[in-house]
Amino acid sequence: MGATGHLGSRLVPELLRHGHDVAVLVRDGTQAARFPTNVLVHVGDATHPHVVGEAVTGCDVVYFLVHSLDRPDFAEVDREAAAVLVTAAADADVRQVVYVGGPRPDSPGLSAHLASRAEVGDVVAAGPVPALVMQASMVIGAGSASFELLRSSARLTPWVPVPSWMHNTSRPVAVHDVVHFLGAAADLPEPVDGVFDVLGPEQLSYLELVQRCARVLRLPVRLPLPAPLWSHKLAAQVAGLVTPVSAAVAEPLFASLDHDLTATSPPVTDVLPAPPGGLTSVDNAIRAATTPVDERTGGEVFTEERTVLTDAAPEDVWRTVNALGGKDGWHTIPLVWTVRGAIDHLFGGIGLYRGRAPEVGEGDVVDFWTVVHRDDDARQLVLRADMKMPGHTLLDMRVDRAGDRTRYRQKITFTADGLLGRLYWVAQKPLHDIVFATMARGIVRKACTRP
């Protein structure tokens, strides 16, 4: 459970590479298309006993990677899901449960986030099935909410507000190392029952982490500004405006920085092998996590993906994709591109109406896009937006098989130019989501009506 999250999405291919049969539970049926056809996908809510019972039946090892931090009632939801899991795992004769939570500071007044992680770990550990509970500090990896906040703090301005909690320390660990330990748990000769720390090689303050991230990104040293009034809530509100992380998620994460996060349990290497070559250094973990950053602009990368399944033939969907623009239009909200093109033209851009040739290849124009890549065998078309904006946008469209159905995949990648680019992404995202979701459905709908 949690197969579409930051850790789960990396663990599934890791398990497949090592020859394991994999089943996952996802909340939204549209997410099923994200997995290879040899993964058994169950659809339902992790708090529903019958759904979880079906998902874990026949499983030897069950991973519980659920974390509902984007909900205000996340502690209640995660507690309930954990209780459902331990009962279902016992009924299904599961051999081993594996859970990744957070560290347990040896200090009073735990944040809601850390308290919830500890509570879920206790629920899992108290169950009748042996539970390997891993306690990890900040996981450094692209897409991790904690790391995205760190990266944004390093990139946002040359100055860093430094309240007292920025001086508290932790042992951040590379996502590659955490996934290694999770994968190794599937090969344990005997079940393990206990709580273990997953710690990185260095104990660093959050301010030191910001400086380290800036260094890896080839930025100048960030200038610390004492900010005694810089509360968790204020920091979260700012983060919600200028980072990919919402304020609701950022606030409990910032509150967790009120504690020094040090080792309180035996190291996980007491029961699992260390990664080949040892633990990843903080610098190399940050470097790996920032690989998607565009080296030309140093811009922060934002992505948005969606998938639509259809009974239309792949060839029909692919023909529809290749006919986009010009007289066929974009199969989205009427006039939205017309208005956007008019605004662009007003500010000296190329506008919308450049048209297109009947057949286009790399370098050809499609309205306000340019073809970057076209592969008819792989059924992939990548377009670059040419309108004026504080960043660079790519639209990647692919068509393939998903069992006996056709899968249309659409990915937007926006590389922001500095703070203005981040603000642009945040400001336009609500309408952006509606426009491109409508477009994806419209493409599939059009393909179903092709002669």
Task: Report whether 33 contacts 409 (CB < 8 A).
Answer: yes
Residues of the chain with pLDDT > 70, as a percent, come to: 94
pLDDT interval class at 106 (50, 70, 90): low
| Alpha-carbon span 417 to 412, nearest angstrom | 16
Q: How many domains does the chain have?
A: 2
Closest CA to 286 of 171, 414, 151, 149: 151
Q: Is the dihedral of CA 173, 179, 180, 184 positive or negative?
A: positive
pLDDT at 361: 84
Residues 305, 248 share a domain: no
Residues 376, 280 share a domain: no
- The yes-or-no verdict on residue 438 having pLDDT over 90 is yes
- The yes-or-no verdict on residue 294 having pLDDT over 60 is no
Residues 322, 377 share a domain: yes
pLDDT at 408: 94
- The model's pLDDT over 20-46, given as tens digits with 9 standing for 90+, comes to 888 888 877 666 667 777 888 888 888
pLDDT at 31: 67
- The yes-or-no verdict on residue 283 having pLDDT over 60 is yes
- The yes-or-no verdict on residue 353 having pLDDT over 70 is no
Enclosing domain of residue 370? 301-448
Check which CATH number belongs to the domain holding 330 and give it. Answer: 3.30.530.20
Alpha-carbon distances, residue 271 vs 198, 264, 360 (angstroms): 11, 16, 57
How many angstroms separate the first and last alpha carbons of the chain? Answer: 42
Residues 263, 312 share a domain: no
Residues 309, 285 share a domain: no
Helix, strand or coil for residue 19?
coil
With left for phi above 0 and alpha for psi between -120 and 50, is residue 378 left, alpha or beta?
A: alpha
Greatest alpha-carbon pair distance for the chain in Å reads 68
In a domain, 281, yes or no: yes
pLDDT at 69: 66
Please name the residues in contact with 147: beta carbons below 8 A apart, sequence gap of 6 or more. Answer: 138, 139, 140, 141, 289
DSSP secondary structure code for residue 258 in this structure: G
Helix, strand or coil for residue 373?
strand
Residue keyed to tokens 């005997």: 190
Residues of the chain with pLDDT > 90, as a percent, come to: 19
In a domain, 3, yes or no: no
Q: How many residues in total does the chain contain? A: 451
| Alpha-carbon span 383 to 372, nearest angstrom | 5
In the chain, DSSP finds a helix count (H) and a strand count (E) of 13, 18
Residue 122, Cβ density class (10 Å: 0-12 exposed, 13-18 middle, ≥19 buried) = middle
In a domain, 29, yes or no: yes
Residues 278, 358 share a domain: no
pTM: 0.65
Report the pLDDT averaged over residues 221-233: 81
Write down the mean pLDDT value for the chain.
Answer: 84
- The yes-or-no verdict on residue 236 having pLDDT over 50 is yes
Residues 127, 20 share a domain: yes
Report the pLDDT averaged over residues 61-80: 81
pLDDT interval class at 293 (50, 70, 90): very low
Two structure tokens written together for 59: 């499983």
Domain boundary, last residue among 254, 289, 324: 289
- The model's pLDDT over 157-190, given as tens digits with 9 standing for 90+, comes to 788 888 888 888 888 999 999 999 999 999 888 9
In a domain, 157, yes or no: yes
Residues 366, 245 share a domain: no
Lowest model confidence (mean pLDDT) among 254-268, 387-401, 428-442: 254-268
Report the pLDDT averaged over residues 385-399: 90
The pair phi, psi for residue 375, each rounded to 5°, is -135, 105
Two structure tokens written together for 106: 């040896």
- The yes-or-no verdict on residue 284 having pLDDT over 60 is yes
Domain boundary, last residue among 259, 289, 319: 289
Check which CATH number belongs to the domain holding 86 and give it. Answer: 3.40.50.720
